[in-house]
C-alpha cells in the first residue's frame, strides 16, 4: 500500500534554480494539498486541489505554482528558488470533501535547501 | 479567519505518567472538526484522534483522549501512561468551511519528551 508518494526526499538548489516536487496518491482521493513545515510555525498550506482540474491558493502561495495533472498526481513547482523556500514540504490527500472527519494522509516529506 | 494556537513549545513527562497538550482554536464556523497528529523524529505525520464540533462525547483512541471544551474553544490532547515512543512533535489541526472549502489548518506544534 503506497498511499501518498513524494519525490524527491532531499534536494539542494542554488538561488534562482527551478524544480518540481512530485506527488502521487493511489487511494482515489479527490483532494490533494501541499504544505510546508518550518520550525515554530507548524504546517502552512501552500496550495490545494479540491478535485481534478481545480487548484486554489492556501496561506503561503507566493513563489510556487501547482498542477493537478490527473486525479492521482499533484505537483509543486518552484520557478526561481529563494533561500526563504528552504523548508520541508509535505504532500497530502483526503477523500470526500464534504466529510468533516475526513483526515489527511501525508507523504513522507521533501527536505529542500536553497543556498 | 480560523486559527489554531498551541502555547507549549515543549513539554516533558515521566514515563508512565499522563500528559496534557494544549490546543485552543478560533473559528466562526458552527460545524468544524479537530484533529491531532503526531510527528516522530522520522518525519512522517501520523493521525491520532478526531473530534467533531457536534460530537457529544470526548473522543478516545486507546491511550489518547481529547478533552473538548467547546465554550472555551479548547481541544486538549491527553496521553495516558506515557511511553518512550511518545516522544515526538504533536500538532493540533482544525477543519472548517470558512472560505468555502474545508481546508485543514495546523498549529505550531508541541514537542513532547518522555523521560525514563
Rounded to an integer, the average pLDDT of B50-74 is 94
User: Does residue A93 contact residue A27 with C-beta atoms inside 8 Å?
Assistant: yes
For B8, which residue in chain A has the nearest alpha carbon? A40
Cis peptide before A34 (omega within 30 of 0): no
Query: Cα–Cα distance between B42 and B99 in angstroms, integer?
Result: 33
A81–chain B nearest CA distance, Å: 23
Q: How would you write B29-79 as a 3-class SS string? A: CCCCEEEEEEECCCCCCEEEEEEECCCCCCCEECCEEEEEECCCCEEEEEE
R_g of chain A, CA atoms, integer Å: 13
User: Cβ separation of B108 and A42 shorter than 8 Å?
Assistant: yes
Q: With an 8 Å Cβ cutoff, is B10 touching chain A?
A: no
Q: With an 8 Å Cβ cutoff, is A95 touching chain B?
A: no
Chain pair A-B, CB pairs under 8 angstroms: 55
User: Cβ separation of A100 and B9 shorter than 8 Å?
Assistant: no
Query: Cα–Cα distance between B52 and B68 in angstroms, integer?
Result: 9
**Chain segment A72-92, per-residue pLDDT in tens:** 999 999 999 999 999 999 999
CA nearest B21: which of B63, B55, B54, B71?
B63
Chain B residues inside the 8 Å CB shell of A90: 45
| Least confident piece of the model among A39-43, B38-42, B96-100 | B96-100
A41 pLDDT tier (thresholds 50, 70, 90): confident
User: Does residue A49 contact residue A94 with C-beta atoms inside 8 Å?
Assistant: no
Selected residue with higher pLDDT from B110 and B104: B110
User: Cβ separation of A41 and B108 shorter than 8 Å?
Assistant: yes
Give the residue from A6, A99, A103, A108 with the most B CB atoms within 10 Å of its CB, the best one to mutate.
A103
Q: What is the DSSP letter of A53?
A: T
Query: Cα–Cα distance between B106 and B3 in angstroms, integer?
Result: 8
Pairing of strands A87-94, A110-114: antiparallel
R_g of chain B, CA atoms, integer Å: 14
Amino acid at each position: 500500500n503506497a498511499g501518498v508518494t513524494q519525490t524527491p526526499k532531499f534536494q539542494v538548489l542554488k538561488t534562482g534554480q527551478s524544480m518540481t516536487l512530485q506527488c502521487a496518491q493511489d487511494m482515489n482521493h479527490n483532494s490533494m494539498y501541499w504544505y510546508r513545515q518550518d520550525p515554530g510555525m507548524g504546517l502552512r498550506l501552500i496550495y490545494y486541489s479540491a478535485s481534478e482540474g481545480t487548484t486554489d491558493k492556501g496561506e503561503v502561495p507566493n513563489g510556487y505554482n501547482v498542477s493537478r495533472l490527473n486525479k492521482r498526481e499533484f505537483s509543486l513547482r518552484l520557478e526561481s528558488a529563494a533561500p526563504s523556500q528552504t523548508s520541508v514540504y509535505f504532500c497530502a490527500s483526503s477523500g470526500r470533501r464534504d466529510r468533516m472527519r475526513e483526515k489527511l494522509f501525508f507523504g513522507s516529506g521533501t527536505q529542500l535547501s536553497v543556498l | 479567519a480560523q486559527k489554531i494556537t498551541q502555547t507549549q513549545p515543549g513539554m516533558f513527562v515521566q514515563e508512565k505518567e499522563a500528559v496534557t497538550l494544549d490546543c485552543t482554536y478560533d473559528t466562526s464556523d458552527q460545524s468544524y472538526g479537530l484533529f491531532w497528529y503526531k510527528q516522530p523524529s522520522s518525519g512522517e505525520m501520523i493521525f491520532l484522534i478526531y473530534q467533531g464540533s457536534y460530537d457529544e462525547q470526548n473522543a478516545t483512541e486507546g491511550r489518547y483522549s481529547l478533552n473538548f471544551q467547546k465554550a472555551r474553544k479548547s481541544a486538549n490532547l491527553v496521553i495516558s501512561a506515557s511511553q518512550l515512543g511518545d516522544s515526538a512533535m504533536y500538532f493540533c489541526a482544525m477543519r472548517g468551511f470558512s472560505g468555502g472549502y474545508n481546508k485543514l489548518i495546523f498549529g505550531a506544534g508541541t514537542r513532547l519528551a518522555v523521560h525514563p
